[in-house]
Structure formats: structure tokens, C-alpha cells
Amino acid sequence: MPKINRYVDIDQVEKEAKKDYIDRHSPFIHCEAKAKKGEMFQVTVKMGKEYTHPDDFDHYISNIRLYNRETKLTDAAFLAGVLGGQGAKGHQTVTFNIILQKNAKLVAQSYCTKHGVWESDPMEVTVE
């Protein structure tokens, strides 16, 4: 089983290189805290807050997955060069449209081809 890396508050990290490493590899979930039962609900996952991730042939974000607890809801796959390649950097971002029937605990995971699996903090969504 691959190691799962988790985001830590970069304000608590002393070295700038370590902040960059943690932030750019971490997926962050952006969505409303409430959803309407049975209606389309948008969830955006963005890689990194402050730091961008490389988009090189041998080092890029190859996928982003969205889970509700242990259940995979959806995923997106990316090829090297989608953000410009050859040393380009960017915030890999994807918006998923899902339908929730009950309260959810959303978690995003991303895979960096050089540094493995990274997991977001959980996002609780109340369904009304």
C-alpha cells in the first residue's frame, strides 16, 4: 500500500523549501458546506494554495480523486504537459459535479509521479 502524505499547516514549518514541497503537493477542496439532496453539487479540487506544482515529463500531477468516506465518487486523469510542460508550473484544478443524497465527508487525493499520494483535509457537507 502506498504511503499517504497529508498537508500540515505550513505556518508551522520553518524552511521555505519544505513549505513549498508540502503546499504544492496537497489537494484542497473548495465547495459549499451545504448541498441540496438530489441536486447537482460542484466540488473543485485545486493543487496547492501558495505554491505551484511542476508540469514536467517526469514530474507532474497525474490524477485527482474525490472520495466520500471510503467510497470513490469520481476522478480525473492528466497527462504531462497539460499545464504547458517543459518546466511550466501551475495549480492543477478540476471541478467535479456530483449528486449527494445524504451528508458527506469529502476527501481528495492526488498522485504526483515523483512524490506519491497526497490527501486533503476532510470537508464535511450537510445535505438538506
**Apex 78 CA angle, 27 and 13, nearest 5:** 25
Class of the CATH-defined domain 4-127:
mainly beta
Per-block average pLDDT, block size 10, for the chain (128 residues)? 74 75 93 98 96 90 96 96 82 96 98 94 97
Neighbours of 84 (CB within 10 A): 10
pLDDT, position 90: 87
Neighbours of 119 (CB within 10 A): 17
In the block, cell 521555505 appears at 16
Cβ–Cβ < 8 Å for 117, 111: yes
pLDDT, position 8: 76
